[in-house]
Structure 1
Amino acid sequence: MDFTPLSQFIDRITAWRIPWAEVLVIHRNEIVFQYRAGYADLEAKTPIEENTMIYLYSLTKILTCTAALQLVEKGAILLGDPISDYLPAYAEMKVKKKQSDDGNTTSEPTERPITIRDLFTMTAGFSYDLASPSIQEAVERTNGKLPTREFATALAKEPLQFEPGTRWNYSLCHDVLAALVEVVDGRRFSTYVREEITEPLGMLDTSFFLSEAQYSRLVPVYVYDDELRKAVLMDGDWYRLGTEFESGGAGLLSTVSDYSLFLNMLTNRGTSPDGVRILSAASVDLMRTDHLTAHTRSDYNWPHQSGYGYGLGVRTHISQAGSGSLSPLGEFGWSGAAGSYAIIDPESQLTVMYAQHLVNNPEPYVHPRLKNIVYSVLNL
């Protein structure tokens, strides 16, 4: 296998506008290619190094959904359960209605409850407004801590954007799912993740909170300034709403090598190469089943997701004609706000973990091309 086209692609995008990029390719449980280029710190011209700590952002969502699916396997929850059975604050939700004659938005009680399936599939009716009044009030009330369950309770005070189950909208669903795991299991979400997923898989560098040694390996995040025509440092982590908030949607930090252990477990349909079972094969197949309906499919309309459906927290490939992708049907995964990207392919026994740290990332350009290059090189 000649991975020259892939290394040339990484070199090209890091010479273009992305400060640094790293890709790791696992085929049949063996690392067949790993490459990185660019600068972790553009100002200091510091090269990107092995085991750099990064913000996963929304790549967190795959792990959160895995944690919740473990509870489904244990019979602790069902996808059809109303979330109010576990989170009482959601018992009497309201949904926004059309503006009245005086221009004000009205709200009315929902026609049906939010279910656990709605949390998995982004059909609960939430937005992604991190600055909503109820959340900001909860941050102040908890003195900047905002524990995960407090976040979920606060979000329940906001009216929904639409009736549960009727539309798809990328939102805070998986942050609420993390709170649900806490309530059902009894352990703090980060403790559950560590004891049930990361430690069993030997993942020593994946966490919601970093040690001093890990923090020293965390590289800055950049945003591309079109006027200056260069990437500039971004100030802070806008998803860290509180010191105790463990965002199931965007809170994990990790390394390319460490998170690939988790992704490769899913490629092996729930069991690591060492025989550590995290999920059943049936659960992984349920995760990558297309859960979009006639009501929700038109909302899942991002151009670079053409040919893909949406499963339990992941994109899932359903039409090669629609996608133009060289990957087979059933390939699945997700991405993160700074440009990280996961390819999970049980049929081809392929796992790809790609990372960068540019928040206004050119995802529609980079990810489909990266994917096609990998499949072309491997000739799967």
Structure 2
Amino acid sequence: MNKAILKDYLDSLESKGVPGCDCVIFHKHKPVFRHTTGFADAGKTKHLTSENLFWLFSATKLITCTAIMQLVEKGKVSLDAPVADYLPEYKHLNVKCGSEVVPAKNTLTIRHLLSMQSGLNYNLQASSILKVLEDTEYEATTRQVIRALANEPLEFEPGTHFLYSLSHDVLGAVIEEVSGQKFGEYLEEHILKPLGMKNTGFELTPDRKANMSEQFEYDMDTMTSKPISLANCYKLSSKYESGGAGLLSTADDYILFLDAMCNDGVSADGYRVLTRESIDMMRKDQMNDISKKDFDEFGRIGYSYGLGVRTLVEKERSGVKSPLGEFGWDGAAGAYALIDVKNRLAIFYVQHVRGCGYAYSDIHPKIRDLSYEMLDL
């Protein structure tokens, strides 16, 4: 195994404006590669280490959707049930129709939320959200924010298009209603603690903040980065737990989740997160022809979208080295997760650079392909 081909590439990213990054690969429950490079601060006084934490942003979605699928397995949630069965305020929704707003004809379902075909958008400044935040002095709970969101009109009839949105935040509220627990408590009990993910959660505690990598903003024109606040704009209030972008974690933690998922849902020490059947449901293409065109605008060549994950549906057009059905997702600061159940392979790459389009167009595909080359898979 020639680890240098991937190590050298990761080392080269500092010259492309990525101050530091961490990459870990597990194969059949065993760590086969780990490389941490660069710095955790703009002043280059602190080398990035395995102790550093990062905001996961949308890599949170993989864990949220896994939690929903756990509840589906237990018969507590149905994929094709109306969301209103769990969140009554979503029973009478409105939808934009040209310059008008009219009652929605289609019923919004859990499957629509998972597959981003709900009609919701990602407007964090929606008037209903701002009002509930102001009314609660920015202490609104997850349930309160999602209840307010139901007042906003949908962009289209549920099930007709794909639009990246707050859908998975709504799933967090569904989990709270069904489980009777706070969203974070449910994740801690059923995913994080059993997998040994000790440094993953919604709260930026003083101890976690001390180990957080500095966050940066990318300039695509100059391919350089500058430091920005550690704040997570998706943490709408002190009590809000975002199912779409709220978790922070370390590479050592997150790979434990991916490792279980690529091994038929079972961790190295025997904890079952999901059944293989549920995992196969997650990675099954959910896009209709119109939705697939919408998803293609993301530029994930060869991929479509399943239940909260990108899923590889064609190899010829893209030259992808991973097998069909490889799945995962990424995050706004450049995190990248890959799950390959055929080869029992998990890859996690993390950086802390916002607005870095280069990560999605170049870094992630390169890491994927170099990993398969390195491992001769």
Relative to the length of structure 1, the TM-score reads 0.96
Find 1:185's aligned residue among 148, 158, 179.
179
Residue-by-residue CA offset, 1:88-147 (whole Å, 9 max, x unaligned): 11111000011xxxxxx2100011111000010000001111111111111111111121
Aligned to 1:348: 343
Give every structure 1 segment of 4 or more consecutive aligned residues whose post-TM-superposition deviation is greater than 6 Å.
none
- Write the letter of the residue equivalent to 2:38: G
Distance 1:150 1:323 in 2: 43
Distance 1:308 1:229 in 2: 27
Aligned to 2:11: 11
**1:218 Cα deviation after fit:** 1.0
Q: How does 1:280-319 map to 2 (within 5 A)?
A: 280-302=275-297, 304-319=299-314
Q: Secondary structure at the match of 2:218?
A: strand
**1:212 Cα deviation after fit:** 2.4
Tell me whether 220-229 or 66-75 shows the greater mean CA deviation.
220-229
Q: How does 1:113-128 map to 2 (within 5 A)?
A: 113-128=107-122
- Write the letter of the residue equivalent to 1:374: S
Q: How does 1:156-167 map to 2 (within 5 A)?
A: 156-167=150-161
Residue-by-residue CA offset, 1:338-363 (whole Å, 9 max, x unaligned): 00000100111111010000011212
**1:210 Cα deviation after fit:** 3.5
Instruction: Name structure 2 gaps, 5 residues minimum.
Output: none
Aligned to 1:231: 225
Aligned pair 1:94/2:91, yes or no? no
Q: How does 1:46-61 map to 2 (within 5 A)?
A: 46-61=46-61
Distance 1:379 1:182 in 2: 43
**1:87 Cα deviation after fit:** 0.7
Q: Percent identity?
A: 40
**1:46 Cα deviation after fit:** 1.6
**Contact 1:126-1:172 at 8 Å conserved across structures:** yes
**Contact 1:308-1:323 at 8 Å conserved across structures:** no
Distance 2:303 2:221 in 1: 34
Q: Structure 1 residues 227, 70: closer, same or farther in 2, change over 3 A?
A: closer
**Contact 1:304-1:368 at 8 Å conserved across structures:** no
**Contact 1:305-1:323 at 8 Å conserved across structures:** no
Q: How does 1:17-36 map to 2 (within 5 A)?
A: 17-36=17-36
Q: Secondary structure at the match of 2:162?
A: coil
- Supply the RMSD in Å over aligned alpha carbons: 1.3
Aligned pair 1:376/2:373, yes or no? yes
Residue-by-residue CA offset, 1:67-93 (whole Å, 9 max, x unaligned): 001110111111111101111111110
Relative to the length of structure 2, the TM-score reads 0.97
Distance 2:79 2:150 in 1: 19
Distance 2:35 2:3 in 1: 10
Q: Secondary structure at the match of 1:62?
A: helix
**Contact 1:80-1:116 at 8 Å conserved across structures:** yes
**1:370 Cα deviation after fit:** 1.1
Distance 2:297 2:375 in 1: 27
Distance 1:225 1:374 in 2: 27
**Contact 1:25-1:352 at 8 Å conserved across structures:** yes
- Write the letter of the residue equivalent to 1:173: S
**Contact 2:296-2:304 at 8 Å conserved across structures:** no
Aligned to 1:138: 132
**1:227 Cα deviation after fit:** 7.0
**1:44 Cα deviation after fit:** 4.3
**1:303 Cα deviation after fit:** 5.5
Distance 1:220 1:191 in 2: 27
